[in-house]
A and B are shown apart, each in its own frame.
Chain A
Amino acid sequence: MTGTTGASGTAGTVRRRTLWFWVFVGPFACGLALFTYVPLLWSLALSFFDARNTVAPTDFVGLDNYVQVLRDDAFTDSLWTFLVFTAFIVPTTYVLSLALALMVNRVRRAQAFFRSVFFLPVACSYVVAALIWKMSVFNGVRFGLANTVLDWFGAEPVAWLSTTDPPWYWLVIVTVRLWLQVGFYMVLFLAGLQRIDPVLYEAAAVDGARPGWPVLRHITLPQLRATSVAVVLLLVINAFQAFDEFYNLLSDARGYPPYARPPLVYLYYTALGQGQNLGVGSAGAVVLALVIAVVTVGQARWFRLGAKDE
């Protein structure tokens, strides 16, 4: 591009800007259309067809697939399980990562070190972490890490992932998820905390607010509102999209046990595994997408996302 457009005038400038707009935006828009919108619409279409072992079905069945998937206890159970899981994991991750962020933010020395240490697990793959949790930390034999600790106190070894009463597998799932995620959200909170104007804290101190809970409640948390909304939104979506660590912790060559089965694992076995029932799988995916949409929109309303800060 030359610096001056002189002779060609404004029309040329506009044309050139349009050209460059598409040069930069085009590939992205193209990828988005090809790999997101086309599959999305295709999946929506498949959900109305009897599509077994084919992506180009001809047998229109109306809402039959939706009826079938919603009548399947395995699917509705997985949705309920994950509503409960979300209700638990979102506040827990929120509180833990906020607590870590507050602590790291207060550290005067080696703050970068602590920030990195807590952030480091984020760089670990879910699959690798799940395998370490499954095979070394929480395996069921007496020389597993957790069972070795139990043994110090004279307790019997526990088969963490195979015991349904009490459901110890949740301990394994929740700890690996917290270990992997808390650091990431801590960094988001840290960024939020560092944007709070110190003048506010000084003013509060002058007004006689004691450091601790009152300051956290009336200054820090309100100032973190935008960050909190983003964090909670991401956490909710993440919880419903759970797949990696669940699949790697609980599945084996023969399938997946009928507990702690995330909706995506159910859909994987229905549509993408040997089942290849793409019609019912797509219907389930649409239902799941609607649930996520309702929950996130409801939550955005609740937090008044996008409303102007007073």
Chain B
Amino acid sequence: MAMKRRALFAAGAGACAGLSAACGSATGRGDGGGGAGPALSHWYHQYGEAGTEQAVKRYAAAYGEADVSVQWRPGNYDQQTAAALLTDAGPDVFEGSPDLDQIQGGQVVDLTDLLDGVKHDFNPAVLAPKTYDGRVWGVPQVIDMQMLYYRKSLLEDAGVRPPATLDELVDAAKELTDSKVKGLFLGNDGGAGVLGGTPLHAAGLELVTAGGEVGFDDPVAARTLAKLHRLYADKSLLLGAPADWPDPSALLQGLTAMQWSGLWALPQVQKELGDDFGVLPFPADGTSGRPAVPVGAYGAVVSARSAHQEAAKAYVKWLWVERTDYQEDFALSYGFHIPARLSLAEKADRLKTGAAADAVRFATEHGHAQPLLWTPAIRTLYQDALNRIIKDGAHPEGELRTVVRKVSSELDRVKNAKKKP
């Protein structure tokens, strides 16, 4: 009897194992599908602009050496790829910004040799955060940047000129605020999230120095961040708007006179406001300050879990290095981005006039990308502190002292971490 029960139990356990094996082998990749060569899956995050999905599927279909299937993924994309890299069920190729732990953990493939001979043609500001130890881990696709949009008519009515310094921005925002319209919109959290390190760059500081040390251990940092609290304390900031900063609705609906948003919003703003708007970088602060805008780029990345790494690399080289016609189409035909290739950006007629030309100039002259050493843990630490400075009026010196100490120890950790094979 007991024997039999054990046997049944064993059978049950066997069934469990079978079930788990079934879960484990569900790669969702559809190996051996039609078409030539190995099957590759390529992930993109969901672009808002119509036609982008069709375009990337068209590029994939045009590739002859492998059967590439495109996955268009809505939702928290960066979290999805981070989790997918832990399993075999993830993509072979994906767009993303591999962080330092992913590179050191050997989760993504070295793509340095794909850029042989053309490396100089990639915008150095966005190639740098894809580079670690002299090796390239992602091929930059297109550049996105953010800037300050303002309504010319509202500024003229209030007798305010476009702010050239942070102090002028604080005063202008206050001047432009009345019972119906707020002066400035920096996101519903008051700016801690979207501004991030931009005010520090505007103060002439860096997030991380070239030597890998904290770049804002300076009294200037506290002085600049305190001015962001002034904006909040003056009640000049729009807070709790139905659509957050990436969407230009708050500016278009007249809820605010100035708004921080992305380059992607430019076509919509242009369409709705015509000539009644201008764009600015984040204004300089202090004597050593200079204007600043954040730039960033998703790169085409190959997962180390891919069963067809060489095929995936060849495909990335074909699409994101060789096919400049597709790169140009992707950057300029749907949404509004700056091509990551300098040669393409120079050629683009859409970027030569008006606010678009200003944006390109800001990105070239004042662009800062988040350094690779600015890890997610550091980002959270800094953003929490900035949040407390802006909204709670926490003492900037004290907050920054704690942040500098913690950031230093995190920087030490990642600098000492060995890259796993």
Contact = CB atoms under 8 A, between A and B. Distances in A.
Interface of A: 11, 14-15, 18-19, 22, 26, 29-30, 33-34, 52-55, 74, 135, 138-142, 144, 159-165, 252-255, 257-258, 269, 272-277
Given A33-B16, A165-B392, A140 B105 contact: no
Contacts, number: 125
Interface in B44-99: 76, 78-79, 82-83, 85-86, 99
Contacts of A164: 391-392
Contact of A18 (B5, B19, B244, B388): B5
Interface stretch (B186-194, B264-272, B347-355): B186-194
Given A22-B8, A26-B15, A257-B387, A140 B188 contact: yes
B86 A53 contact: yes
B240 A255 contact: no
Contacts of B1: 11, 14-15
> Which secondary structure characterizes the binding site on chain A?
loop
B415 interface: no
A55 B392 contact: no
Contacts of A274: 78-79, 82, 99, 376
B8 A162 contact: no
A1 to B, nearest CB: 17
A31 B162 CA distance: 63
Contacts of B82: 53, 273-274, 276
B132 to A, nearest CB: 14
A52 B105 contact: yes
Given A11-B1, A22-B8, A252 B244 contact: yes
Contacts of A253: 193, 244, 246
B287 interface: no
A275 B377 contact: yes
A34 B13 CA distance: 10
B8 A139 contact: no
Nearest to B255: A141
B383 to A, nearest CB: 6
Given A160-B240, A254-B194, A26 B377 contact: no
B388 A258 contact: yes
A53 B102 contact: yes
Given A141-B242, A162-B189, 5 more contacts: A54-B105, A74-B380, A254-B194, A272-B79, A276-B83
Interface in B375-421: 376-377, 379-380, 383-384, 387-388, 391-393
A224 B393 CA distance: 48
21 contacts: A18-B8, A19-B8, A30-B16, A30-B19, A53-B86, A54-B105, A135-B242, A139-B240, A141-B242, A162-B190, A164-B391, A164-B392, A252-B188, A257-B189, A257-B192, A257-B387, A273-B79, A273-B82, A273-B376, A274-B78, A275-B380
Contacts of A11: 1
Given A26-B15, A140-B240, A252 B20 contact: no
Contacts of B192: 254, 257
Top 8 A-B pairs, shortest CB-CB distance: A140-B240, A254-B193, A159-B239, A162-B239, A258-B384, A159-B240, A53-B105, A274-B376
B240 A252 contact: no
Given A26-B12, A52-B101, A53-B105, A161 B376 contact: no
Most buried by B among A53, A144, A165, A277: A53
A140 B239 contact: yes
Given A30-B12, A30-B16, A255 B392 contact: no
Given A11-B1, A139-B241, A161 B188 contact: yes
A273 B388 CA distance: 22
Contact of A144 (B4, B240, B383, B393): B240
Given A139-B242, A258-B388, A252 B380 contact: no
